[in-house]
Amino acid sequence: MPIFPTQYSTLSSVELKNYLQNKYGFAILVCKYLLRGVNDHYLVETKDKKFVFRIYRKSHRSLEEIRSEITFLEVLSSQGIGVSYPISTINQDLILAFDAAEGTRYGVLFSYAEGLSVSQLSDIQLANFGKELARIHNIAISIKLPYERKSYDLNTTMRQPLQSFKAIFENIPDKGLWIKDTIDKVIHKLESFELSEFSYGYCHYDLLPKNFHFDNKDNITFFDFDFLGKGYLVNDIMTFWLHLSLSVTFNKMSQEEADHSFNILIKSYREVRQLSEDEIAAIPYLSFAFWIFYMGYHIEHFDDFSNTFFNQKFVLERVELIKTLTNKYCHFNT
């Protein structure tokens, strides 16, 4: 009997352990399913090391996109930048192919980011974050990758996602109207800047604390570059600014503390590369685009990713949160 058509399978961690041992040539003590999210992640442990093995979801990333991601990480790692980097097999392969039920899926073994995620960074951690991010951007602005990744612009982050919103706002039209009107205002505001003068290159586009670790000496390691794409480099500062703004909104820190943290980050970043006042001023508006992009992603990948949480209650709460942040930090000409 043929295998029934499948769109998202789960590879056995037991079988994967044996397979990876043969491919990488070292004894694996633990291979444990770690996270089912945008992709599948497995924690791999040897006697003295940890790794993370990622199985890319077939509908999410093409082989060409994966090649560009790992090329980017190899270059960063070769320059001494703290990133989780791809590990090669004994045959020097960086990408493994799996004949899964839904078709070919690809996997990559990554070095483990030592340390822990930190929600409220110390001044030293903020300074290290800013400098290391600027070093990444110095490379990201000029690097040539074998395959062009997604672009994050006004079309892909706002206009295009808006086209998929009709169904989710059918029963709450007032929320949908607010989203549409605010998209127009944000686009108009961003177009008032000289966007051609903004630094442009490959950005992480999900640089929240869950995607970098600090070790016990406050050294930072960035990971999960799955959403790597071309855009304004200030987007990476925007995502951390958004983390600070959410911390203020949920009373985890004061606005004064958030401003202090942000100023240290900016000062440290500017010690390595330039960042204009206009780029900083655009951050609240770029953060709105960030929300809209990921809402569109949730709709596009509902079957395989967001179906456990993306419902009308989630949408209502998310729109209210976006409204709160927009009303506080965005200023439009009336």
Q: DSSP characters for 2-24?
A: PPPP-S-----HHHHHHHHHHHH
Count H helices and E strands in the chain, helices first. Answer: 11, 11
Q: What is the pLDDT of residues 252-292, one digit of tens each?
A: 999 999 999 999 999 999 999 999 999 999 999 999 999 99
Q: What is the pLDDT of residues 55-90, one digit of tens each?
A: 999 888 999 999 999 999 999 999 999 999 999 999
Q: Residue 71: its pLDDT value, please?
A: 97
- CA dist 57 and 36 (Å) reads 10
Q: Which percentage of the chain shows pLDDT scores above 90? A: 89
Which CATH number applies to 13-111? 3.30.200.20
| For range 313-330, the mean pLDDT | 96
pTM: 0.95
Q: What is the pLDDT of residues 195-227, one digit of tens each?
A: 999 999 999 999 999 999 999 999 999 999 999
What Cα–Cα distance (Å) separates residue 289 from each residue in 67, 204, 243, 285, 315? 27, 15, 15, 7, 16
What six digits make up the tokens of 11?
Answer: 């590879």
Select from 2.60.120.510, 2.60.40.790, 3.90.1200.10, 3.30.70.270 the CATH code of 123-329.
3.90.1200.10
Q: Domain ranges for the chain, please list them.
A: 13-111, 123-329
Q: Do domains 13-111 and 123-329 have the same CATH topology?
A: no
Q: Give the list of residues 6+ apart from residue 82 with CB closer than 8 angstroms, or none.
A: 132, 219, 220, 221, 222
Dihedral sign computed on CA atoms, order 275, 281, 287, 288: negative
Average pLDDT of the chain, as a whole number: 95
